Structure 1
Amino acid sequence: MLRRELRVILVSLIVSFILTVAKFVAFYMTHSVAILSDAMESIINVVAGGFACYSIYLSGKPKDANHPYGHGKVEFFSIGFEGAMIFFAGMLILFKAVQYFISPKELHSMESGLWLLGATTVANLLLGLYLIRAGRQLGSITISGNGQHIMTDVYSSTGLIVALSVIHYTGWNWLDPAVSVLMSILILTKGYQLMRRSISGLMDETDMKVVDKVIAILSSHRVPNWIDVHNMRVQQYGNNYHIDCHITMPYYLSLNEAHDEVKKVEVLVNKEFEEGEVEFFIHMDPCIPSCCHYCLKDACPVRQHAFTGEITWTRDNVLPNRKHG
């Protein structure tokens, strides 16, 4: 899988470099600050692609004594770095647009520049779709983030082509820096979103979609010995997940029997969970008399209270550190 991830990001790096050169050629042909803005953003694609190559290589290294959970966290550094670079590019584009408002420049060879920009946009569209699809298949947030950035580039380039076409046919050159300002706002927003995602990952912010997915898997394959699940915590390391939780089981189970139940949980979730590999750390809690009213074991030899109804597992009762009921 690591080789495929590196191959995918290397394709992104090479294509992004070629398209960046083409956009700068279009800028020198037209002297359009809006095209310059697009070209400057594409530089970030190249820089981010290079950093992504290293982060994917590092995240694929096996666990060691210093990194018992692996090296997958580096992918959050990768998208944070990319977000910071995008944000910086947005600031530069905004500064350049203000300069052009103050000192306008005459535009040249607009038709040729538009054709060249259109070709780079189509190529970027194909690249972005390829990266997003590959990121989903490989469970790589670095590749997915890179693909989403490329798609943002596609949207901004499409809007840019429309605006430059209007300028070309109307002669309203003031639209050139105005469009550049709009592009800078879009780019700044995207940079902020990537940095926000990076910080949330590095701070181990809970991904509720992952929690809901795991709860749904456990609920659909629930067995009587799993009386309740609580104190669940999820951490992401690249495309790997570490989950620790408490599972309440009948107190009279032998150590071997309890271990077998824990193994069932780990095997089940890894089989059904498509987002990546899951490592479990499960603390086994013995049942107490207050568990009897929702315990599903029909022939429990130590039941002290009648069964009153099954408790549905949700975020509200799986995440807190307390037995249900």
Structure 2
Amino acid sequence: MRRLVAAVQNCYGAAFVSRSGVRMSYVLKLAIGSIVVGIVVLGLKALAWWMTGSVALLSDALESTVNVATAIAALLAIRVAALPADANHPYGHHKAEFFSAILEGVMIIIAAMLILNEAWQGMMAPKVLQAPLEGLLVNGLASVINAGWCWVLISRGRRHRSPALVADGRHLLSDVVSSVGVTFGVLIAIVSGWALLDPLMAGLVALNILWSGWKVMRESMSGLLDESVPEDTLVQVRAIIATEAVGAVEAHDLRTRHAGSATFIEFHLVVPGELTVSASHEICDRIEAKLRQKVSDCVVTIHVEPEHKAKHAGIVVL
């Protein structure tokens, strides 16, 4: 682990040598893993389509090309998000991951449109599948790999608060659901001999992908629009301020937002007029230390005000 941290420091600067730096190096490894897994799965699905000639399996393979492209986009976004704040970006580059997630949503929608086109062509000229069972086994292996990796991405992405990884994982989850549907559809087409069912399944896959793309884009917009942190986190922040601000009068105008892994917390702290600057600063330090302990990667800004600025409508200090 020490060698890993040292390598990251050499590449990106001293800002990485911290808990967030180790986290980011781990997230980067997951993003690189997504590219490798995506290429392997794409190869298997392309092979399954080549073996069968199935339009539904072709739609599955087309979606995997998007998986690879979005995994590369996620890697680039995570690297940009890891850059330290600078003169032009004083709040950091955390939102780069949200842009990546929106790009993924757009690419998912494009893939769905391509699949719809293939499905339409297949409906116009249905054809009998070749070597269907062997092709389905190969496609099934690709789905198993995807299922395991999407679980890794979603669980680890949430733990390390990476929107890009979570979006990538949810995209893979939609791919797994689509693949299962395609498998059953092609099996039914084989048993019944109804060749039209194959392109119909491809059309259903496309609709499912469209819905997945919309959800990814909608959730990413909340971060770009500076949506407040979840209610349970907000309750925790209020409780910490109330218990740690001993010596102050109240806290008001609490504002929060999240950007990638970072959580920004801002509020006004009212203190008695006779309190010294040093004593006020000690209260702020105590609050900040507790917030950083309970809310990972948080950036705290406290504006200290004299007692006559009290609004009597904020957080009461216990």
Could you tell me the TM-score, scaled by structure 2's length?
0.85
C-alpha contact 1:94 1:180 (8 A) present in aligned 2: yes
Picking from 138, 142, 158, the partner of 1:120 is 142
Q: Which amino acid aligns with 1:211?
A: L
Q: Percent identity?
A: 33
1:163 counterpart residue number: 185
State the secondary structure of the residue aligned to 1:63.
Answer: coil
Q: Give the match for residue 94 of structure 1.
A: 116
1:252, CA displacement in angstroms?
2.8
Preserved contact between residue 262 and residue 298 of structure 2 (Cα < 8 Å)? yes
Aligned residues: 293
Contact 1:80 1:198 in 2 (8 A): yes
Give the Å deviation of 1:245: 1.4
Match for residue 260 of structure 1?
282
Partner of 1:323: none
Residues 186/39 of structure 1: CA separation in 2 closer, same or farther (3 Å cut): same
The answer to whether structure 1 residue 214 and structure 2 residue 237 are counterparts is yes
Equivalent-residue separation in structure 2 for 1:4 and 1:130 (angstroms): 12
Residue 9 of structure 1 contacts residue 49 of structure 1 at CA under 8 Å; is this kept in 2?
A: yes
Tell which structure's C-alpha radius of gyration is larger.
1
CA pair 108-213 structure 1, distance change in 2 beyond 3 A:
farther
- Amino acid across the alignment from 2:305: D
- Please report how far the alpha carbon of residue 20 of structure 1 lies from its aligned counterpart in structure 2 after TM superposition: 0.5
Aligned-residue offset at 1:211: 2.9
TM-score (norm 1): 0.83
8 Å Cα contact 1:20-1:42 kept in structure 2: yes
2:39–2:68 Cα contact (<8 Å) kept: yes
Question: Does the CA-based 8 Å contact 1:224-1:295 persist in structure 2?
Answer: no
Q: CA separation in 1, counterparts of 2:200 and 2:284?
A: 61
Spell out the pairing of 1:117-266 with structure 2 (5 A cutoff).
117-209=139-231, 210-219=233-242, 221-266=243-288
* d(CA) in 2 for partners of 1:242, 1:251: 28
Q: Which has the higher helix share?
A: 2
Q: Is the 8 A contact 1:69 1:237 kept in 2?
A: no
- What is the Cα deviation at residue 214 of structure 1? 2.4
Q: Return closer, same or farther for 1:223/1:3 CA change in 2, 3 Å cut-off.
A: closer
Contact 2:153/2:165, CA 8 A, preserved across alignment: yes
Q: Against the structure 1 CA distance between its residues 296 and 61, is the aligned structure 2 distance closer, same or farther, given a 3 Å change threshold?
A: closer
In the superposition, relative to structure 1, how do residues 227 and 148 fare at CA in structure 2: closer, same or farther (>3 Å)? farther
Cα RMSD between the aligned structures? 2.2
Match of 1:283 among 303, 309, 317: 303
Sort the Cα spacing of 1:93 and 1:296 in 2 relative to 1 into closer, same or farther, 3 A.
closer
Structure 2 residue matching 1:281: 3-state secondary structure: strand
Unaligned runs of 5+ in 2: 1-21
Letter in 2 for 1:41: E
- 8 Å Cα contact 2:240/2:287 also seen in 1: no
CA distance in 1, matches of 2:216, 2:47: 29
Classify 1:279/1:295 alpha carbon distance in 2 versus 1 (closer, same or farther; 3 Å).
closer
Could you say which residue in structure 2 is the equivalent of 1:65? Answer: 87
Letter paired with 1:215: R
Aligned-pair CA distance for 1:224: 4.3
Question: How many angstroms does 1:217 deviate by?
Answer: 4.0
Displacement of 1:229: 2.9
- Cα distance in 1, alignment partners of residues 276 and 82 from structure 2: 38
CA distance in structure 1 between the partners assigned to 2:209 and 2:235 by the alignment: 32
